[in-house]
Structure 1
Amino acid sequence: MQRQQAINALLTMMLVVLLSCAGIALPYPILAPLFLNEVSPLTTFGGIHPKLLLGMLLAVYPLGVLIGSSVIGAASDVYGRKKVLIISLFGSMLGYLLSAYALVSEHYPLFVITRIFTGLCEGNISIAKAVAIDLSKTLDKTRSFSLINATTYAGWLIGPLAGGFLQPFGAEIVFYVAACSLALACLCVFLFLNHEPTKTNNEKFSWYQLIVQKNSLGLLKVPSIKRLFIVYLLVTLGLNAFYSFYPVWLVERFNFNSPDIGTITALLTTFMVATSALFVTPFKRKFGMLRGVYIGLFGLACLLFSHPTFSALTVWLGYASIGVAIALFNGLLPIYISEQHQNEHQGRLMGLLTTGFSISNVTMALLGSFIAIYGSIWAIMLGGTLILLAMMTLFYITKIKPI
């Protein structure tokens, strides 16, 4: 019965992650073509260069995630996974509805505000990963984590593909559909999630104390966590340099439109899903946790540096390979960090990793938008350089001082 309950909790979180990530990813393929190819009060606000307007939009959403995820993961340790998930999913749904209204009214400042608000509520992925780790006494941790990652990638497959093909009906339709997917995810949590961690935090805090004193960033006071966080931050900086600007690069290099971007993103994420679901666990058994991380990181760096050589044909093969590399290290590095700090509350720890991803997303959206004015390829090259730097840093800290 205990194993069946654990399986039910994992399946519920997989469904929630699938719907949530699909909702997050739905608008993704519409933004670059919208700001690069269309002229409207939204895309010409204040006489600012459209690439800078796009960069600000790409930055404010993860800025909201940064603030929210530093608290939401820790809050789930204190107030329970289910309650915090329902609140965050409902807030996300409301944010997408307001974003649709901002698009219809072509109001850029309101669009920015609604994207920040939506990001504030998007800490549910860190909770899902914490649930997978909670279940490790009953289910294999690497396998559970890989399945959560697989459904994350599946959401990123379905979302951009649907968004690209919904865009001709109006950009606001994409945000309405995203809101519906979040509403369904919220209902699933309410009906089916009955899991709470066996190790609970019995201390109770006010929301003010939770935000100021007990947020995930407080874990950086632990030296070993701080060192690994630096590695994770470098990895996600490089990854977000790619994520944020490959649609721009595809538009500039091959004149891709929204359906094209949606299709190649679907290809990328299909290989991420397959690799995570089928190959990460046996890959870890064959090569080991840390060596597997190195292989994935090195493969991604080489593929990012290969972008100038891609043709209209080979870019499809290249992006399939990128999906494999991302799934390999992304399925192993967070598990490695978790296993090094098993005594920490895992909601708070996974919240810290989500916060790191958000910091890198904001940084790359802003820095990369300036770099992209001179050519988006340079933002992608910067990504490859940062991935290599992360590899060297991880090698250094694991060789110099055990963690």
Structure 2
Amino acid sequence: MQKTFGITLFIAFANAISFTILIPILYLYGREFGLTDFQTSLLFAVYAAAQFFATPVIGKLSDRYGRKPLLIVSLIGTVIANALAFSAGLVNIAGLLFFARFLDGITGGNVSVVQAVIADITPVENRAKSFGLFGAVTFGLGFTLGPALSLLTQQYSLGAGFLVSSVIAAIALILTIFGLPETLKQSTQVAPRRLFDLGLGNLISGLKLPRLGLLFIINFLIGTTFTIFTFGFQPYFLELLGQTNQALTALFIVFGLISALVQAKGLAILNKRFSLSMVLFLGLLMRGLTFVLMPLYPNVIYFVCISIAFSVFNSLVQPTIITLISLNAKPEVQGMALGLNASYLNVSNAFGPMIAGLIVDRAYPETYRYPLVLAGMLTLGVLAFAILKRDRYDVARSPRS
């Protein structure tokens, strides 16, 4: 199982790089097509909305037919979609770029399948540690090397990042085909009640699942507030603080290094001393406070210091809530549960950028402060909600690593 876990982490790592290489360039790439801030936000939204519908289907099918086939199909979609996004820049057709983002979203629900693989092969008592390592590899190392590669590709063109992303996804695809065994046991495969029962109904019924439904709602709110922040973060740094995209990319690299360290070591240490819910509360509290503090003083050194503090505590949030969902889900529905969670998180990624895109105006750079402050206030509201509902989703005790 250790070999399978290592292969799974490498696939997650390659998949994360293929995604994170795009984060520093997508906003500016959209501007190369002459898109407005709101239109650029739709590039994020169309990808997220497509994933909202696709991810539970992929999760459900992975419970039915196995993890490996769905990973293969999903990665093929990423390879093709990012190649198309690169081509859109060559012919300067914005519609092709939007289609590419839609295609990547509709086939890109593989994160939940990778998480299901980890749940398949990891004992309950080690699951928090395993998801911490998963977070370190994806949100940590992925957010370090992805932006670093992005910095290199920017020397040629913004679109080159999509081409490199496609190649990296192809590497993950080859490794999945030839290196990853099937981890879903025959005895836990869920037989379809109807041939075309693909799990879309679970998007509604999933919210009613005991314990899990509340976690889905909390993570949806967490995702919405976070993507309000992330859409405002880049133009604030570029326009209001007068920095370059290369400096922005370097900041993402720092975030990734911090996240890798916290999730690989810090999360396990905290989890030995505190319950999972307490770790989640700490992450949300500090995330909300740093969001509000960032735009208070328009100085780049101040901004970087607050951003580093944000990165430390932000690294706790997603691995913790994924662990809570996994521990509250039965073994035979891990794929479905993690797929639903990813789906609700993805649709939050559609709402957040659109909200931020509506409240900013490129003609008035001061408005780029607004998404940061709004995200901070809403995050603190989500924290209060999570605390009030704690007894409805918390595990009996913190799993020991």
Determine which of 360, 369, 382 is the counterpart of 2:357: 369
Determine which of 253, 268, 272 is the counterpart of 2:255: 268
Distance 1:216 1:193 in 2: 29
Distance 1:178 1:195 in 2: 25
Provide Cα deviations, 1:292-315, integer angstroms capped at 9, x if missing partner: 111111011111011123521122
Instruction: Give the AA of the match of 2:113.
Output: I
Distance 1:332 1:24 in 2: 21
Instruction: Give the AA of the match of 2:65.
Output: Y
**Change in CA separation of 1:232 and 1:25 when aligned onto 2, cut-off 3 Å:** same
**Change in CA separation of 1:236 and 1:30 when aligned onto 2, cut-off 3 Å:** same
Matches within 5 A, 1:128-139: 128-137=114-123
Partner of 2:34: 43
Partner of 1:47: none
Determine which of 382, 388, 397 is the counterpart of 1:390: 382
1:284 aligns with 2:271: yes
Deviation of residue 355 (structure 1)? Answer: 0.9
User: Over aligned residues, Cα RMSD in angstroms?
Assistant: 2.1
Following TM superposition, the consecutive aligned residue runs of length 4 or more in structure 1 with deviations greater than 6 angstroms are: 400-403
The unaligned stretches of length 5 or more in structure 2 are 396-401
SS of 2:159 mapped into structure 1: helix
Determine which of 76, 79, 84 is the counterpart of 2:62: 76
Partner of 1:31: 26
Distance 2:230 2:305 in 1: 17
Deviation of residue 258 (structure 1)? Answer: 2.1
Q: 8 Å contact 1:133–1:346 — kept in the other structure?
A: yes
Distance 2:195 2:346 in 1: 22
Distance 1:156 1:380 in 2: 21
User: Normalising by the residue count of structure 2, what TM-score does the alignment of the two structures yield?
Assistant: 0.91
Q: 8 Å contact 1:338–1:349 — kept in the other structure?
A: yes
The unaligned stretches of length 5 or more in structure 1 are 1-5, 45-49
Instruction: Give the AA of the match of 1:371.
Output: I
Matches within 5 A, 1:53-64: 53-64=39-50
Distance 1:139 1:402 in 2: 15
SS of 1:113 mapped into structure 2: helix
Matches within 5 A, 1:236-275: 236-275=223-262
Determine which of 341, 345, 352 is the counterpart of 2:333: 345
Deviation of residue 338 (structure 1)? Answer: 2.3
Matches within 5 A, 1:80-229: 80-137=66-123, 140-153=126-139, 154-198=141-185, 200-204=188-192, 208-213=196-201, 215=202, 217-229=204-216
Deviation of residue 207 (structure 1)? Answer: 6.4
Deviation of residue 206 (structure 1)? Answer: 6.3
Q: 8 Å contact 2:112–2:342 — kept in the other structure?
A: yes
Distance 1:270 1:315 in 2: 18
SS of 2:211 mapped into structure 1: helix
Partner of 1:3: none
Instruction: Give the AA of the match of 2:62.
Output: S
Deviation of residue 109 (structure 1)? Answer: 1.2
Provide Cα deviations, 1:83-125, integer angstroms capped at 9, x if missing partner: 1101110111001111111111111111111111111111111
Deviation of residue 161 (structure 1)? Answer: 2.2
Q: 8 Å contact 1:98–1:114 — kept in the other structure?
A: yes
**Change in CA separation of 1:402 and 1:141 when aligned onto 2, cut-off 3 Å:** closer
Deviation of residue 216 (structure 1)? Answer: 5.2
Provide Cα deviations, 1:144-176, integer angstroms capped at 9, x if missing partner: 111111111211221122113312302221111
Distance 1:16 1:217 in 2: 31
What fraction of aligned residue pairs are identical, expressed as a percent?
21
Determine which of 372, 379, 389 is the counterpart of 2:371: 379
Q: 8 Å contact 1:157–1:266 — kept in the other structure?
A: yes
User: Normalising by the residue count of structure 1, what TM-score does the alignment of the two structures yield?
Assistant: 0.90
- More displaced, 196-205 or 151-160? 196-205
SS of 1:313 mapped into structure 2: helix
1:326 aligns with 2:321: no
SS of 1:208 mapped into structure 2: coil
Q: 8 Å contact 1:43–1:53 — kept in the other structure?
A: no
Instruction: Give the AA of the match of 2:67.
Output: R
